[in-house]
């Protein structure tokens, strides 16, 4: 399969958007639409699917933790990491927050790097279930923790603007290591993660 440069992709996407506007009966050269094909192309290539051209490894920055094995109760929790992605079923956005808990072995990841890494995987055509598993697998392989728990909560606009036309929330979870086998630890950690949660009165906080 041929690989296109970003410039080539923008040109091709712009042409397709122009054709789409013509198919639905619009006039691409009218005031208001004249620059739309190019704008849409730049948005898709440089923003919405930028994860295809990025590598999560370039954001990795790890730090040793006292140079020794930690106890299984030494849990690191990073909560409310913004997630914005495009659902591959209808090419509409889903958005929300990710929460990560892990038990370090000898290294921890730089705090801000979680958001950067998640963004790389999210800026691709996705389904929430796969996104959760991909990020969990990547972090588990990178940090080799004793356990890792990944939760994503999101609203899917495909359900909001079509179909049932309701703001439906989806929660997905992936567990690795001790979080797979120790149900009490998993439940206790989920209570901390979801204690206040991002859903308040049916609304996503901060969105």
- CATH code of the domain covering residue 44: 1.10.286
Given a cut of 50, whether residue 205 has pLDDT beyond it is: no
For residues 16 and 99, membership in a common domain is answered with: no
Prediction pTM value: 0.86
Which 8-state DSSP code applies to residue 77? E
Rounded alpha-carbon distances, angstroms, from residue 90 to 42, 95, 105, 156, 181? 20, 14, 40, 10, 36
pLDDT (tens digit, 9 = 90+) per residue, 94-132?
999 999 999 998 889 999 999 999 999 999 999 999 999
For residues 188 and 131, membership in a common domain is answered with: yes
In the chain, the number of structural domains is: 2
CA separation for the pair 144, 140 (Å, rounded): 5
For residues 34 and 136, membership in a common domain is answered with: no
How many CB atoms neighbour CB 85 within 10 A? 26
Q: What does the mean pLDDT of the chain come to?
A: 89
Given a cut of 50, whether residue 198 has pLDDT beyond it is: no
How much is the pLDDT for 197? 44
Instruction: With residue 156 as reference, give the H or E element that holds it.
Output: strand 147-156
For residues 23 and 65, membership in a common domain is answered with: no
CA separation for the pair 10, 43 (Å, rounded): 9
For residues 30 and 11, membership in a common domain is answered with: yes
CB of 98 within 8 A of CB of 150? yes
For residues 78 and 179, membership in a common domain is answered with: yes
For residues 74 and 27, membership in a common domain is answered with: no
Structure tokens at 133: 């598993």
For residues 155 and 187, membership in a common domain is answered with: yes
Has residue 1 been placed in a domain? no
How much is the pLDDT for 2? 67
pLDDT (tens digit, 9 = 90+) per residue, 44-59?
999 999 999 999 999 9
Has residue 121 been placed in a domain? yes
- The residue segments making up the domain with residue 109 are 55-204
How many CB atoms neighbour CB 128 within 10 A? 20
CA separation for the pair 136, 144 (Å, rounded): 11
Q: How many residues make up the chain in this entry? A: 207
For residues 80 and 113, membership in a common domain is answered with: yes
């Amino acid at each position: 399969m041929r690989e296109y440069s970003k410039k080539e992709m923008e040109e091709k996407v712009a042409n397709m958007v122009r054709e789409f506007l013509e198919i639905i009966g619009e006039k691409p050269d009218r005031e208001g639409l004249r620059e739309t094909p190019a704008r849409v192309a730049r948005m898709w290539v440089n923003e919405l699917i930028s994860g295809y051209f990025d590598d999560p490894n370039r954001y990795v920055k790890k730090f040793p933790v006292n140079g020794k094995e930690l106890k299984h109760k030494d849990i690191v929790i990073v909560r409310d990491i913004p997630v914005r992605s495009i659902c591959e079923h209808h090419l509409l956005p889903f958005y929300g927050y990710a929460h990560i808990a892990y038990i370090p072995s000898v290294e921890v990841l730089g705090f801000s790097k979680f958001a950067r890494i998640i963004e790389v995987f999210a800026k691709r055509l996705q389904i929430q279930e796969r996104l959760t598993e991909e990020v969990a697998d990547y972090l588990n392989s990178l940090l080799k923790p004793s356990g890792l728990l990944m939760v994503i909560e999101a609203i899917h606009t495909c359900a909001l603007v079509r179909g049932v036309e309701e703001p439906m929330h989806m929660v997905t979870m992936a567990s690795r290591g001790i979080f797979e086998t120790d149900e009490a630890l998993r439940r206790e950690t989920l209570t901390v993660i979801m204690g206040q949660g991002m859903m308040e009165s049916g609304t996503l906080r901060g969105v």
